[in-house]
Amino acid sequence: MLSQFAYRKAGSVQEAIELSSRPGARILAGGSDLLGCLRDGVFSADRIVSISGLKELKGVAATAGGGMRIGALATLAEIAGHPRLRQAYPALAQAAAAAASPQLRNQGTIGGNLCQRPRCWYFRGDFPCARKGGDTCYAIAGENQLHCIFGGEGCYMVHPSDTAPALLALDAKVRIQGRKGARTIPLASFFVLPSVDPRRENALAPGELLTEILLDPPEPGARGLYRKVRERGAFDFALVGAAIVLAISEGTVKKARVALSGVAPVPWRSEEAEAALAGKKLDQQAIAAAAAAAVKDAEPLSGNGYKIPLVRGMVEDALSALAG
Amino acid sequence: MSESTYAVVGTRPPRHDATDKVTGRAHYGADFQLTGMLHGFILRSPHAHAAIRRIDVSKAEAFPGVKAVVTSADLPESPEQMVDIGEGAMPLSYIRGNMLARSKVLYKGHAVAAVAAVSPHVAEEAASLIEVDYDVLPCALTVEDAMRDGAPVILPDLRTKEFGEQTGRPGNVAEHFRHVLGDAENGFTEADLVVEREFRTATVHQGYIEPHATTVLWNEDGHVLVWCSSQGAFTVRKATAAVLDLPVLRVSVTPLEIGGGFGGKIRIYLEPVAALLSKKSGRPVKIVMSRQDVFEGTGPTPGSHMRIKMGARKDGRITAAQAYLAYEAGAYPGAMVAPGAMCVFAAYDIPNVVIDGYDVVVNKPSTAAYRAPGATQAAFATESVVDEIAENLGLDPVEFRLMNAAKEGTRRADGPKFRRIGCVEVLEAMRNHPHYRAPLEGPNRGRGVAVGFWFNVGLASSCTISVNSDGTVNLLDGSVDLSGTRTSVSMQAAETLGLRAEDVRPSVGDTDSIGFTEVTGGSRTTYATGWAAVEAARDVIGQMKERAALLWETDAASVEFDRGVFRAGGRSITFQELAAQLDETGGPVVGRGAVNPSGAGGSFSGAIADVEVDPETGKVSVLRFTAVQDAGRAIHPSYVEGQMQGGSVQGIGWALNEEYFMSAEGAMLNSSWLDYRMPTSLDLPMIDTVIVEVPDPEHPFGVRGVGEANIVPPPAAVSNAVYRATGVRLYRLPMNPVAVMEALWQKESEPGGGSLHSDAAA
């Protein structure tokens, strides 16, 4: 049931911050996740603050330093089709293209994609789970084939975003504005593990707004991709996914970033896989070692053990594609 | 008769309703509006099994904008009776109990109370104020749970019927029946190879895009008027009248366009509830289900637990077969296990057969028909075992099936002897198709085949044809048009009258305007309503002959009619010319056709599937798919092909993705399109079709219904293909990536991986 709420359209970032500072307020960008959550009673809101008219949050543009600045309101379709992103940051463009369905990519924003709520069926269903302030995660003893194999503690959901692991692999930073001013933090510290707080997925405080995403210039010899394994060819979340960005020089991996989706309550950076690649030639041996390292410390639940060979196979496959 | 003898039958004219459908002009259930209309909302049970201690609606009634609140206390009491609900009958108490729960809720989503208010939002908010005290009970969610000793008793009054007799035994088994042919035990001893396997299938939903929607006005004159999306207006009328304890004359049902049904829109869920709300409020009430309501509150198709045992000689002859079929009925008896038993071995001529069927109640929504109900589960099991035997005997899977194929005179274990059927012709078409012979190269790829049967029904249909003065005709029938039947029925009338399809203007009548017509289901509409249209056209011709005879001052018996022209004694007049003279010759001509055929010829269907299994992800991709089906006579080949493609796609979804995920407490976890994964166009190849025509000897044009048999073989064909691709056979649907990965994993971990423990006898 869509409960009654006040609708306010913010005319500026500052106004959006003021309007959304009080408890019970929610930011509306593309609305593709928010409105569904409100309708299904996953949570309620008494004030909806639309930021969809804020021009300063739109667009994708090159920065003076050779990087990119992506407004929080840039749509997934815009990112998927952006020539510069496709050429220099393929992991991100591919991840955006792999999300949802064409209609949702036209409507959904990158900011919303990073801030979307979990898809866990216990969270979305009528279960008072830990993420809704309850004292248990129903996935532990329940239907958990789609749940996490890393980082679960108190909550075993998987972070649903495809673009988040891609941005993580690109060492992206996010800019956050609030009453006390603006701060820019690495995306890696934007996401919150359930062991820290199972009730929120990110570091935004009430009234804080994710305004833009910043990408450094690509490293020399950079190559990257996003792989997504899903049941259905469209309109489906990742069973598991991997964003991989490598900087290769003279046949040797200078820098490796491996970030996984569908495996943890946050986009999951596999430093183990990265370490197995760094300084190595990208040959079959290194690829197999990295794939094995990616799942080394996995802790499956009763029904999701299949994700271990799945991740291993997917990482191996993705690295082989980058080597080719 | 060669096809060239027909001018209309076998051609592909555009459907009469095409423009309205593609422009969005067509009126579906939720599009209907009346002045002063209220909106209803149904409060549903959050528990899968609970006793209702108390319902307090006072806060909802007091909520501003609320005009009426109803619970089961508002339903009338009347003596128990069996009510025909379209495909089968059900005790009235169960129908009422499913409409609004009385003392217990039996599944999550079970309707408990309903509110009518000035807007859907007000109704929903008010419903949340209804207080229901539940005593939560343990639940049983599968046949195995429900048949276990000490299982929670779901219907306290239920007594098991066994072999047609009441046993007096309480429990969750509503019925156990058995069909016996020959001596199976002896038959197995004659076999050189016996294979026995156990299978399970998940609960799946028909997945029609349009949710159930109805608008009801309980008029001041005591007459109940219903406008709804359904598969049959007369069935809605009968069931609504029975629940409300009214004579059928006091209920009128107007069918609106339907956005898919597949068997799921035969039973009613909303009409009596909306009627009670309308009676209390004095205003028309519309109720539209949400998608979650559809998944949780309407009838999906049964999950199943099956064992199939088959024995064959080395020469390829099947000597005996045994089936154990236990289907989930949901909250009330009526799992489609009886039709499953009729179809389980129907494709084969087997001398010795035993079939045991169990109809088992569980704490899930009361199940409903879904396209060849019960047959798809059974065929998945049988066709997997047949495939395994063929392989073990070193025989080509199509040849092995041909060696044992049912034909005219073959007796089914459930009794009937087949008349002329097309099982052999379908198998031959598969064998001769280029797809079957095309090389399939590359690792992890495999090709599977399967066949399936659906018996089809005839049943009552009515049709009238009115002749216009310009020689066109208006045709009125009682069959809701699910799939282009306005056109396939009109074409049969046009062929009979010597007209073009576009000279016939078809419309679907309401229960006040046309004679009784059974539901659009059982693949019966083009067959039976088409037949009624032929009878109505013949009636028109008979009356027109009299008019010609009047003009020519001769006997009607001497007037002949052929391809639109009446002739007698060297004179002739066209249908159009004569139509212009009806006024002078006695007035309007209205032909009527009313039929109730009982001997519909069944349809066989076959599938050839090529798949590739990704060993890293477990994902099964269907690379190529060919559907073959006996249509008897394809009236409109495009719509036959569309049915074959639609059934194939639904069968593939059932095979690979679709499933109700249930929590241990009986809550469906994936009640949205996002999480209930029906395949999209990206998940499917173009479905190739081959229409086989073995005419039904009784039907005027030889039609066999084609709506259903096509869904039966795909899950088995895909499973057999997965086996050929991987060496691993899966015994449970769906074969999603998780299931495939686990099966591959298990194969790797077993010594001599992939050996399937065939228990070869003798």
* Closest CA relative to residue B632, chosen from B593, B597, B596: B597
Query: Hey, how many other C-beta atoms are within 10 angstroms of the C-beta on B366?
Result: 26
User: Could you tell me which residues are beta bridge partners of residue A32?
Assistant: none
Gap from B736 CA to chain A (nearest CA, Å):
7
B204 near B659, Cβ under 8 Å?
Answer: yes
With an 8 Å Cβ cutoff, is A125 touching chain B? yes
Find the farthest-apart pair of alpha carbons in chain B and give their distance in angstroms, rounded.
Answer: 92
What ipTM describes this predicted complex? 0.89
Residue type, A55: K
Q: What is the mean pLDDT of residues A94-122?
A: 97
For chain A, report the end-to-end CA distance as a whole number of angstroms. Answer: 52
| 8 Å CB contact of B663 and A309 | no
Gap between the Cα atoms of B210 and B579, Å rounded: 41
Number of H helices, E strands in chain B: 20, 31
B540 near B473, Cβ under 8 Å?
Answer: yes
Q: What is the mean pLDDT of residues A285-307?
A: 96
Cis before B734 (ω within 30):
yes
Mapped onto helix, strand or coil, the DSSP state of residue B321 is strand
B761 near B191, Cβ under 8 Å?
Answer: yes
pLDDT in tens, A208-254: 999 999 999 999 999 999 999 999 989 999 999 999 999 999 999 99
**φ, ψ dihedrals at B348, nearest 5°:** -125, 150
pLDDT in tens, B567-601: 999 999 999 999 999 999 999 999 999 999 998 99
- Report pLDDT for B389: 98
Q: What is the mean pLDDT of residues A310-323?
A: 95
What is the DSSP annotation of B416-451? PBP-S--HHHHHHHHHHSHHHHS---STTEEEEEEE
From the list A2, A143, A233, the residue facing B661 with the nearest CB is A143
- Report pLDDT for B748: 84
List the beta strands (DSSP E) in chain A. Answer: 6-9, 25-28, 47-50, 60-62, 68-71, 173-178, 181-186, 209-215, 222-229, 240-249, 252-261, 268-269
| pLDDT classification of B449: cutoffs 50, 70, 90 | very high
Residue B495 has pLDDT above 80, yes or no: yes
Residue type, B149: D
Residue A145 has pLDDT above 80, yes or no: yes
Residue B712 has pLDDT above 70, yes or no: yes
Q: Which residues of B touch A (CB under 8 A)?
A: 46, 121, 124-125, 128, 292, 615-619, 656-657, 661-664, 667, 669-670, 673-675, 677, 679-680, 682-683, 736-738, 741-742, 745
Name, in order, each residue with C-beta under 8 angstroms of A279's C-beta and a sequence gap of 6 or more: A252, A253, A254
Residue B759 has pLDDT above 60, yes or no: no
| 8 Å CB contact of A143 and B662 | yes
B265 near B257, Cβ under 8 Å?
Answer: no
Domains of chain B listed by start with CATH number: 3-26+458-595 (3.30.365.10), 422-451+604-762 (3.30.365.10)
| 8 Å CB contact of A231 and B121 | no
Residue B476 has pLDDT above 70, yes or no: yes
Instruction: State pTM to two decimals.
Output: 0.94
User: Could you tell me which residues are beta bridge partners of residue B620?
Assistant: B613
With an 8 Å Cβ cutoff, is A310 touching chain B? yes
Tokens 């039996």 locate to B106
Gap between the Cα atoms of B513 and B413, Å rounded: 42
B512 near B237, Cβ under 8 Å?
Answer: no
Closest-CA residue of chain B to A3? B125
| 8 Å CB contact of B737 and A231 | yes
Chain A CB contacts of B737 under 8 Å are: 229, 231, 239, 306, 310
Residue B754 has pLDDT above 70, yes or no: no
A190 near A203, Cβ under 8 Å?
Answer: yes
Residue type, A250: E
